[in-house]
Copies of this chain bind each other. A is one copy, B any other.
Amino acid sequence: MSGTRDHTWAILRRLVEASTTEVVRHLWPDGDATAPAEVDRLVERMRSGDDTLPTGLLRAASARSAGVAEQAAVDLQWAADNGWRLLTPDSPEWPGPRWDDAFAPVGDLDPDAGGAAVPGSVRGAAARPFALWARGSVELAATVERSVALVGTRTSSAYGNRTTHRIAGDLAAAGYTVISGGAVGIDTAAHRGALDASGPTVAVAASGPGEIYPRTNAALFRRIAETGLVISEYPPLTSPARYRFLTRNRLVAALGRGTVLLAAGYRSGAVNTTNWADAMLRPVMVLPGPVDSAVYVGCHQKIRDGAGTLITSAAEIRELLEPVGAVDPEGQLGLDFAPSPVQQLSRDQLTVFDACGIGSDGTGHLDQIAVDTTLPMAAVVRIVSELEVAGMVRRAGDRWIKNDR
């Protein structure tokens, strides 16, 4: 029974590239995203060329129906042989409810427009996925429960890579799963940062299982699957293609509570992922960098456009994703950058402190301090005493001398 359903899903996975709002509309006609009962009927109608289906579905069916049942069986066997499994809305680990605020509610899709998004519904364009191939030792829904997407350019800088690695590690240490795309550059630094901090990480591939892209990351994908997950919306051995990257990006955004852009040039695919997050009403965060680095032009523009919040640390990311008060970045800053004693002085204290003498130069007489500061003598006497208690000045006869720091 499960095998039959999986076969049906695998067929649909072959018939429909990624997901579309038309598929979503037919899988969940009642608007209840948690119980897709219509997959058998949809696949049957597509394979028989039912011309009451929307054009997009008919076109896909017409182009891909030939031999699709056999191919789906091959896919399932290939997956079983190679450590992959098919995740569908039938699976206990399917993060269906988790995705309800990311993807277009079924009700937002207009049946009279062939299942297209209702105009004005920005989220209509992010079609709910219906099946994913997955490899790894953890369950998807639990793994992405507390998660953040880290994305950025493939042509990253040393600064971008080390900062991403550090932030990913800090997030992992705080119990976050790092989601990224498995590409070179920022994606790799993000996955590695999480792994090096012994945290789970999820790579959403833009190619099918077995088609490692980029090939140089084969070892990284293996390492990810050991403690986390590699997932793909495409059938086994599907080659990567540019438009698949763009479609894949919506899954990266949907799997994170928010998306962080860690490096992006003037036009970067990573910006696309943040646009998805924005459309899903999830926080978009942006790391700044050197303004004379081309790979931060996109980041700075995003901040200037008010389309993302500048962040500099994992703590600032968590601050945006967690309830108010759960994170205390001020406290953390305080540890690193405690104000000096001088910085803690009041304006009058500072004025008096500066008027105090230095060593044996003869300055710092009380009278002179009063003239220099125009403060009443009583105030000067009070304040030099405060400074003495604070260990900042000492008395030498009728002079007050700054202590060495």
Contact = CB atoms under 8 A, between A and B. Distances in A.
A122 interface: no
A397 interface: no
A374 B266 contact: no
Contacts of A267: 337, 339, 343
A309 B306 CA distance: 10
Contact of A289 (B288, B343, B355): B288
A266 B163 contact: no
A304 B297 contact: no
A266 B339 contact: yes
A229 B279 CA distance: 52
Given A312-B300, A333-B297, A289 B287 contact: no
Interface stretch (A28-36, A57-65, A216-224): A57-65
B289 A354 contact: no
A370 interface: yes
A376 interface: yes
Interface residues of A, number: 53
Contacts of A265: 337
Contacts of A59: 374-376
Nearest to A294: B337
A310 interface: yes
A342 interface: yes
Contacts of A64: 371, 374
A243 B337 contact: no
A227 interface: no
B374 A60 contact: yes
A337 B304 contact: no
Interface string A289-315: 111101011001001100001111100
A291 B313 contact: yes
Interface string A362-385: 000000001110111000000000
Nearest to A333: B266
